[in-house]
Amino acid sequence: MPRYRLLVEYDGRPYRGFQAQAVLPSVQGALERAVKAFSGEEIRVGAAGRTDTGVHATGQVVHVDLAREWPAETVRNAMNAHLRPEPISILSAEIAVGDWHSRFSAIGRRYRYRILNREGPPALDQGRVWHVKKPLDAAAMHDAAQVLVGLHDFTTFRDMACQAKSPVKNLDVATVTREGQEVILEFAARSFLHRQVRSMTGTIAEVGVGRWTKADVLAALEARSRQACGPVAPAEGLYLTGVTYP
C-alpha cells in the first residue's frame, strides 16, 4: 500500500480547525472527500499538526495511504481538481519512503504570526492578520522573546484543554522583526503545546505596546501558571509554515 507525502497550503477561515468533525467543516474532511472523489477510497488523512479554528498553513504536511499506486503528480492534480472551490491547495506530492509518517517522523515545526501594525484595519488581509493599532516596538518584543528560547516548563503558555503529556518543551527559535507595517513573529521547535504560539505571541505583544517588560515575560514563564499568561493572540494571524524531517 503506497503512502503519499503531500505539502498542503490552506486558508483556515472557513474551517473549524484541521481535524475532521462530525458535522462542522474541517481541512482534514475536505482532503478526505477529495481522495474519495478521485480514488473511490475512504481513508483517514494523517498530518504533521492539527491547526486550530481559523489558523492557516503554507507548509502543512500530510500523508495519504492508497490501495492503488498512482503517479504522485496524478494524486496532486486529482486532489486539487476535487478540492475546488475550497481554499486548499496540494502544492506537491511524492511517494514516501520506508515507514515515514507525517506526524511521528517530524523533528521540527515552524510557525509565523503576522501582526498588521497600523491605524487602518486590513481590507485585503482581513482574517489573515491580527490588527493592532497601537505602535509596537519590535526590537523590545524580540529581546523579550529570547527568555522563552530553550528548554522550559511552558505551563503558563499552555491551553487548559491541552492533552500533551508534559508541559516541558524546547523552543529553538523565537524572533520578532518588522517588515513595513507588519510585525512578524517566528517560532520553531520540535513540537508545541496547544495554543502555545498564540499565548506567547499575545504576551510578547504586551511588551510591544509598553504594558509589559522583558522581566514580566520571564516572571510569567517561571510562574508556571496559566493565570500568569498575557492575552492570547487571535487565530487569524497564525500560519504553520513548515515541518522538518530527518
Q: Exactly one of 52, 99, 125, 153 is catalytic; which is it? A: 52
Given a contact cutoff of 8 angstroms between Cβ atoms, the answer to whether 152 and 168 are in contact is: yes
Q: Which residues contact 139 (CB under 8 A, 6 or more apart)?
A: 176
**Is 226 in a helix, a strand, or coil?**
helix
Grid cell for residue 228:
500568569
Distance CA 197, CA 91 (A): 25
Q: Distance from CA of residue 120 to its chain's centroid?
A: 26
Dihedrals phi, psi of 88, to nearest 5 degrees:
-135, 135
Grid cell for residue 72:
504522485
Grid cell for residue 23:
458535522
Task: Indicate if 153 belongs to the active site.
Answer: no
Distance CA 161, CA 63 (A): 26
Positions annotated as catalytic residues are 52
